[in-house]
Amino acid sequence: MSQFELGIVGDYFVPVTECSTAGAVAASDRLGLTRNTFMGVSGGKIVTIEPFTEVLRSRCQKFIDASRSKVVLPGLVNTHTHLAMSLFRGLHDDLPFSEWLFQNILPLESRVVDEAFVRLGTRLSLYECVRFGTTTVNDMYFYADAAAEEVSRAGLRGLISQVVLSAQSPECRVLGSDKKRLLERLVDRWKGSETVRVGVAPHAPYTCSDETLSWVAAEAKRLQLSVHTHLSETQFEVDQSIKQHGLTPVQRFQRLGIFDSPVIAAHSIYLTDADIRIMVASGASVSHCPDSNLKLSSGVAPVAQYLASRLRVGLGTDGAASNNSLNLFGAMNLGVKLQKWVGGSNTAMVASQVLRMATIDGARALGWDSKTGSLEVGKNADFIVVDLDYPHLQPVNDVISHLVYSTTGLEVETTVCGGVVLMRDGEFCGSGLSGEDFENVRDQVASLAGGF
């Protein structure tokens, strides 16, 4: 009789055990790295982690052999994205931020976004997530219930938030403008789900009035929801907030009660010292999106300073319209190098810190760190396997360094979420995300190219 539903042995086993990136972290932090390690899974959870012996193989219903030049590590956590916007990939690139957003993306959304669009774009993005080893996403977009269904069907983990704007959104013409009804229905629908959690997403300070933000603050507190928002993304946004309200965006959010609930603030590039203190005191988190911030020329968040101030930071990709991929390996590589330059020191941020940001600290930002983000007994079996058997990853002098500075993401060969294998040896094999279904999605997406 099998003892484990799934077992895996890793040549290199990187559990990313608890140690926040906040504050000083030595470059010698090995993230709990061990060699030739076995992990047993039953009921979707990790039940043992121990040195591998051959007898353990025979006790597994299914067994993954990653014992030759392969790394087992937690599934990655994307703390800010817009999944459905993958269908806008490559559109209106290389424009100033305001022109890109207000003259192109927002009008395009109002014209073409409907439930079918969201379902197709979300499903395409979920394939991309699995391919690049992401098992948990924090998504903000329209038709949230449809996105939640796609995430649940795919077998990934997602915090899906109901978008709120003061103006009419693309979903209003179908779902109506009663956001309270939509939010309550979304909460009721997904209450008790193991893989989907619901939040509320005031889009940004510049698209939400004081009245709207006060309503969001009250509803988030009443329903015990986290708040997902864009915040202090550009210097212009901050300057306009001070001009119009006499407060920075963070100070305005504090005055209106937004920080009374857990907040995941995307970008947060232009925080004052007072802003940082407000966010630390409230327990808020920043989602750092280096690719998007550079591509839109928004700036570079001083993440090393935030971490030294004990401000929690996770890693995000933003949507594919502004990145243009959902590859967290790329975000790790770019993000840590930027902090070395911004901080004026090669040790301003190190590889182990950014890998924590992409895993356990991201899970902590989403309030999911008791379930995912690290490989520990009792947690969900959300993990990936990275194959190091490529010329650009040899010799293996330092596994952590290779994962951050040399891996492109396409070396991810296996992705598992909740003990369910979603990709094996580079082939999609989940019940919700299969190779055959991907071909169908790809054909549908191909028919849209150039059609916007």
Quote the DSSP letter at residue 322: S
Helix axis angle for 115-131 and 144-154, nearest 10°, is 40
Cβ atoms of 381 and 419 within 8 Å: the answer is yes
Give me the chain's average pLDDT, please: 95
pLDDT (tens digit per residue) in 319-378: 999 999 999 999 999 999 999 999 999 999 999 999 999 999 999 999 999 999 999 999
- Measuring CA to CA, how many Å separate 235 from each of 102, 271, 272, 316? 16, 10, 11, 20
pLDDT value for 18? 59
pLDDT value for 290? 98
What is the pLDDT confidence band of residue 20, given thresholds at 50, 70 and 90? very low
**Run of H or E including 233:** none
Tracing tokens 């993401």 back to the chain, one arrives at: 409
Side-by-side strand order, sheet with 263-267: 76-81, 134-141, 157-164, 196-202, 227-231, 263-267, 285-288, 312-315
Is 19 buried (19+), middle (13-18) or exposed (0-12) by CB count in 10 A? Answer: middle
pLDDT value for 167? 92
pLDDT value for 26? 55
The Cα 379–Cα 371 span in angstroms is 5
From start to end of 98-173, where are the E strands? Answer: 134-141, 157-164
- Per mean pLDDT, which range of 199-213, 404-418, 428-442 is the poorest? 428-442
Nearest to 156 by CA among 442, 377, 361, 433: 433
Please say if the pLDDT value at position 1 is more than 80: no
What is the pLDDT confidence band of residue 30, given thresholds at 50, 70 and 90? confident
Tokens representing 277 are: 């203190």
pLDDT value for 28? 63
pTM > 0.75:
yes
pLDDT value for 305? 96
The Cα 306–Cα 223 span in angstroms is 29
pLDDT (tens digit per residue) in 131-163: 999 999 999 999 999 999 999 999 999 999 999
CA-only gyration radius of the chain, Å: 21
What is the pLDDT confidence band of residue 437, given thresholds at 50, 70 and 90? very high
Higher-pLDDT residue of 245 and 96 is 245
The Cα 328–Cα 317 span in angstroms is 7
Name the percent of the chain lying above pLDDT 70.
Answer: 97
pLDDT value for 19? 56
Name the percent of the chain lying above pLDDT 90.
Answer: 93
Please say if the pLDDT value at position 406 is more than 80: yes
pLDDT value for 24? 45
Average pLDDT rounded to a whole number, residues 33-44: 98
Average pLDDT rounded to a whole number, residues 222-229: 98
pLDDT value for 90? 94
Cβ atoms of 263 and 217 within 8 Å: the answer is no
What is the pLDDT confidence band of residue 14, given thresholds at 50, 70 and 90? very high
What is the pLDDT confidence band of residue 27, given thresholds at 50, 70 and 90? low
Domains of the chain: 1-34+51-382+392-452 (3.20.20.140)
pLDDT (tens digit per residue) in 259-303: 999 999 999 999 999 999 999 999 999 999 999 999 999 999 999
pLDDT (tens digit per residue) in 53-104: 999 999 999 999 999 999 999 999 999 999 999 999 999 999 888 899 899 9
The Cα angle at residue 341 between residues 338 and 342, in degrees rounded to 5: 85
